[in-house]
Chains A and B, each alone.
Chain A
Amino acid sequence: MDKQKPEYLRPALIAGAIAGLLSGLPIISAGNCVCCLWIVGGAAMATKLLAKNTSGILTSGDGAIVGALTGIVGAVVQMLIAIPLRPSNIELGRRMLDWLSSLGLDMPSNMDGLLDGGPGILSPGWFLLSLFLSAAVFAVVGVLGGIIGVSLFAKKKPQASPPAATPPLPGPGDAP
């Protein structure tokens, strides 16, 4: 018997948009530095939404699909948000480096160059490459989050119950 096919796209779009938004906003995006919190959490949330809207039992494969989709949606949303916020992100990064320097931490000589990124960083080619890399990385991380979500939120398979005990047939001695 085929189980009802889960509807992956809707939960992935909702959770991916939220995860992408959180990943793109300055300061809040730092959550991704804690083991990709927003993407793993977003993918797990997508699995929770999927489990809520699906009558059947979700498999870890379902979690992997919805997690990967969530990661890809998250990457696209994050990149779109990051474009207008890029100048403020660079400024924030520079302040952070200044703060770390004031603490006496050694900065590598090329750090400023890496932060500036050079003139090519805003070109369409660089944007597409960044989008592709982010989507690939977020998809893999999302797969993980989706599968963890299955472990945390999906309905569990009912345990096989022992065969019901049949009442013993009345023996000759049981007759009233």
Chain B
Amino acid sequence: MSRSGISRTVIAIYLLTVAGTAIWLSAIFLAPVLAGRGSAGAARLIYAAFSPICHQVPGRCFTFHGHPLAVCGRCLGIYTGFAAGLVLYPFVRGFSKLELPSARVFLLLTLPMAVDGAAGLLGIWPSPILVRFVTGAVWGTVLPFFFLTGLADLFLARRRKVARTLENIRTNNVE
């Protein structure tokens, strides 16, 4: 596939991911706003949507409009880091190259969160919410580099397959 074909696909996936991330982050802030305005049903739906992936313990969540956000400080950090990674992506990787970050980089950026989390679990260190947020954000920054590369690779492979099938049909028809 040509370089411009790759770029177009990566840009389309990039824009969709940016939109999805914006919706995701907005929903996190929308839950306490709705709870504050008395729309308990809608707020409950958003809190429930995030409950499988976050403990939502109020003491570990930032508050907004007097109510906890839909996710804890660390999760908010991860999603904010993801958004920051999306901003960095075009400058670091560009749209014409598909390459996963090395496992070493991934493990290195996971380390602060893992150490902080483990120390908190073992009772060595009562991790403040801001530290949770920052270590989460550091980890989250690398994630778009995996996510975009994987999805772009998947869609490009599908497109190549469809193109091959069409080419085979065309060849058979000519014969």
Contact = CB atoms under 8 A, between A and B. Distances in A.
B146 A32 contact: no
B119 to A, nearest CB: 13
Interface in B20-38: 35
Contacts of A100: 57-59
A114 B57 contact: no
Interface size class of A (residues with CB under 8 A): 35 or more
Contact residues of B: prevailing secondary structure: helix
A134 B54 CA distance: 12
A85 interface: no
Contacts of B50: 137
B40 interface: yes
Contact of B146 (A60, A105, A111): A60
B54 A33 contact: yes
A64 B150 contact: yes
A103 interface: yes
Contact of B48 (A110, A130, A148, A152): A130
Contacts of A34: 74, 117
A111 B106 CA distance: 37
A83 interface: no
Contact residues of A: prevailing secondary structure: helix
A65 interface: yes
A143 B153 CA distance: 12
A123 to B, nearest CB: 13
B137 to A, nearest CB: 12
A105 B150 CA distance: 42
B139 interface: yes
Given A60-B146, A105-B58, A35 B154 contact: no
> Which 5 A/B pairs are nearest by Cβ-Cβ distance?
A61-B154, A147-B150, A105-B59, A60-B150, A61-B153
7 contacts: A33-B55, A61-B157, A63-B150, A110-B35, A133-B49, A146-B150, A151-B100
